[in-house]
Chains A and B, each alone.
Chain A
Amino acid sequence: MSQDDLNKRIAKAQAEIDARERPRYMGTGKGMGLGFRMASDFAAAVIVGVILGLGIDALFKVSPWGVIVCLLLGFVAGVRNVVATAMKANQAPETGPEAGKATKGEGDSA
Chain B
Amino acid sequence: MMVSTDPMHQFKIEKLFDLKLGDLDISFTTSAMWMVIGVLLLIGFLAWATSKMSTVPSRAQSLAEIWYGFIAGIVKDVNHAPGKPYIPLVFSLFSFIFVANIIGMMPYFFTTTSHIAVTGFMAIFTISLVVVVGLMKKGLGFFKIFVPSGVPVVLLFIVTPIEIISFLSRPISLGMRLFANMLGGHVALKVFAGFVPSLAVALGGVGMLMGGLLVMPLIVGVTALEFLVAFLQAYVFAMLTCVYLNDALGEAH
Chain A residues packing against B (C-beta within 8 Å): 3, 6-7, 10, 18, 22, 26, 29, 32-33, 36-37, 39-41, 43-45, 47-49, 52, 70, 73-74, 76-78, 80-81, 96, 98, 101, 103-105, 108, 110
A103 touches B76 (CB 8 A): yes
A98 touches B173 (CB 8 A): no
Q: Which residues of A contact B232 (CB under 8 A)?
A: 29, 32-33, 36
Task: Give B87-141 interface residues, CB cut-off 8 Å to A.
Answer: 87, 91
B77 touches A45 (CB 8 A): no
Q: Which residues of A contact B172 (CB under 8 A)?
A: 44, 47-48
Bound state CA distance, A45 and B166, in angstroms? 6
A33 touches B55 (CB 8 A): no
User: Closest CB of chain B to A37's CB: distance in Å?
Assistant: 6
Name, among B166, B170, B228, B231, the residue most crowded by chain A CB atoms within 10 Å (CB to CB). B166
Stretch at the interface among B25-33, B175-183, B189-197, B200-208: B175-183
Bound state CA distance, A74 and B170, in angstroms? 13
Q: Which residues of B contact A18 (CB under 8 A)?
A: 73
A110 touches B64 (CB 8 A): yes
Any A CB within 8 A of the CB of B241: no
A40 touches B80 (CB 8 A): no
User: Closest CB of chain A to B145's CB: distance in Å?
Assistant: 12
Given contacts A29-B228, A105-B87, 4 further A-B contacts (CB under 8 A): A18-B73, A45-B166, A80-B166, A110-B68
Name, among B68, B69, B91, B158, the residue most crowded by chain A CB atoms within 10 Å (CB to CB). B69
User: Closest CB of chain A to B221's CB: distance in Å?
Assistant: 15
Q: Which residues of B contact A33 (CB under 8 A)?
A: 232, 235-236, 239
Bound state CA distance, A96 and B78, in angstroms? 11
Question: Secondary structure of the B side of the interface?
Answer: helix
A-B contact pairs, 24 of them (CB 8 A): A6-B55, A18-B73, A33-B239, A36-B177, A36-B232, A36-B236, A37-B173, A37-B236, A44-B169, A44-B170, A44-B173, A45-B173, A49-B165, A74-B165, A80-B166, A81-B166, A98-B76, A103-B72, A103-B76, A104-B68, A105-B72, A108-B72, A110-B64, A110-B68
Bound state CA distance, A3 and B235, in angstroms? 35
Bound state CA distance, A45 and B228, in angstroms? 26
Q: Which residues of A contact B176 (CB under 8 A)?
A: 40, 43-44
Bound state CA distance, A73 and B166, in angstroms? 10
Any A CB within 8 A of the CB of B240: yes
Closest B residue to A84 by beta carbon equals B166
Name, among B68, B80, B168, B239, the residue most crowded by chain A CB atoms within 10 Å (CB to CB). B168
Q: Which residues of A contact B50 (CB under 8 A)?
A: 110
Chain B residues packing against A (C-beta within 8 Å): 50, 55, 64-65, 68-69, 72-74, 76-77, 80, 84, 87, 91, 158, 161-163, 165-166, 168-170, 172-173, 176-177, 180-181, 228, 231-233, 235-236, 239-240
Are A48 and B169 CB-contacts (below 8 A) given A36-B181, A40-B180? yes
A48 touches B73 (CB 8 A): no
User: Closest CB of chain A to B100's CB: distance in Å?
Assistant: 17
Within 8 Å by CB of A77, from B165, B177, B180, lies B165
A40 touches B177 (CB 8 A): yes
Q: Which residues of A contact B55 (CB under 8 A)?
A: 3, 6-7, 10
